[in-house]
Chains A and B, each alone.
Chain A
Amino acid sequence: MEKMIDVELRNIQKKFQNNIVVHDFSLQIEKGEFISFLGPSGCGKTTTLNMIAGFLEPDEGDLLIKGKRMNGVPPYKRELGMVFQTYSLFPHMTVAENIAYGLKLRKQSKAEMQERVQRVLDLVKLPNVADRYPKQLSGGQRQRIAIARALVIEPSLLLLDEPLSNLDAKLREELRDELKRLHQEIGVTTIFVTHDQEEALSLSDRIVVLNHGSVEQIGTPTEIYHNPASEFVHTFIGKTNRLHGVVTKVEGNRMKVQTDKGFVVSALQPAKAVQEGQRVTVFIRPEKIVLSAETAPAGVNQANGQLMMTSFLGAFTECQVQAGGEILDVKVQMLEKLAGVTPGSSVLCQWHEEDVLVMPAEGDRL
């Protein structure tokens, strides 16, 4: 079956007073896809979303929605749904009037309007708040109503600009699951803007990682997590240990690195091939390092050290291990079970070679 392209950005560029905020942004979004724009604050996520919505015009490039060029079309003619960070419910209208706002403009009959309002209220699991005013709702309820208001017009595309960032942690997770359920239920093509990598990883079909207005990588959550295209992507997507070193041996698809602080690391040959003698950066995620109370000589992919500090976070414990002049971050599930391991005791850190990521050192990439 041929894939339907719902939204297409072709070499979009946007400047604010000579300051390039979005640079050569190209992307094709399939019908029904859930896409996240992920990046640090100020990287141009909102600007891009505003161009898709029509609040801003790109300086260069084309925007196509359902195959039609949208440059210059005002927002009110684009038939999109959008949810804002600050909810943006009309304070002088009841929940029902808020939701019916878009339907009224589409000249629907009263009966049909009422039915559709009730249907989306059921969809967001708030069937009994129709007559309340927004300020009589909690933050989470407001955001659900904002989502309902965007969905009721059956938009061709749903835009979400950090819709969860004003909510507390628990509610955020709850609404995240809710969003996932909604998307599975109605299958509307969705663009979700966030700077929270967990949200992006858990919700998206594909993630667009942005940095300084440029696309760093476009890929599925697992691709982004396991095969980052750049050091930026790898470090942005989660905590990591970074070691500098030199490649000492390359053998087929495997290689060895001697780090400056004295570790010997074996790894698989990365996508961007490296040669013997080249300076590289080695990344190992904290959750990939196994901690034990054993004493063994230092060797390939293992290092002796001293447990410095622990912070218990419930499901796991974050530890810092001082090993040969490096401080390694290690994430341990059930540190309690490692008998006799307390801050100050000697520990052994081990990892598998397939969990090691090697990239040419930043300076060498140029």
Chain B
Amino acid sequence: MTITCGLLPVLEPEEQDHSYEMSDYEGARARWCPGCGDHSILAAVQKLLAAEQLPPERTMFVSGIGCSSRFPHYLKTYGFHGIHGRALPVATGIKLNRPDLDIFVVMGDGDCTSIGAGHWIHALRYNLDIVVMLLDNGIYGLTKNQTSPTTPQGHPSNTQPHGSWLPSLNPLSTALGVTNASFVAQTAEWVPAHLYATLRAARRHKGLSFVRILQRCPVYSSAVYMKAVQDPNRIALLVHDDGVVVPELEKVYKNVVAHDPHDLAAARRVADNMDHVHLGVLFADPSRPRYEDLRRVAPRTAEERLTLLEAELDRYAV
């Protein structure tokens, strides 16, 4: 071990009595379009950080490229605004080295389910203890209106003006199909209480928590979630003590489904069921192996390494 990042928490001690306010997490002024769903996700995340009292210097947001990937700039934590589709490998490298950091990954639908789809599948399988948010507006926002894998069939864009040719990809059933995936949830940015409760459940889950957040893009894909926004009966809340329960929402959203998130088969049925837009935790299993735990090794000091290296060189000695 050449550098003991373990020293950092000791050198930068958190005082027992210090408490963080929401304003402690505010970064640059958000530059998304007015009415963009990303604003409300940012607000929910700031609220979560304050509620969970995460020290800003030990919290990291890793993103790719897209409107949604601007997220880290608007927070005052550490941020890694990387390259399109590749947030997850970077987050994997950070977490492998620094299990002490709280890591949130923010991706758009193009970022996660198209160019970064390979990494997405494998990250679900690695099951590192991180929160992965898919900000799904069903369109490429930053590059101005191209079809994404989650664009509903028939929805027009600049690249498929007669409507998307193919049925859209279902991120929930895809994620639930991956071996060792340990947490899959869906929420919507226009139901802030649910968004917050879901993010909190995700953050508290040990393992990779994949949260698909339905996100409105009023500029390019306003039609995508229009019906679900306007008609609460299109929504069904999944409730369970091991998932999320937000009783006050049940006044507006009358479809309440008891769903045990330990039941993978039931989770897959919910994911494939298009009768309603389901919000809640579809699946959670904290006992699945986590890659950073499996790969954690005892660090060795320079002297220990030198001794071991001499022994290794002996094997090649002439």
> Does A associate with B in a complex?
no
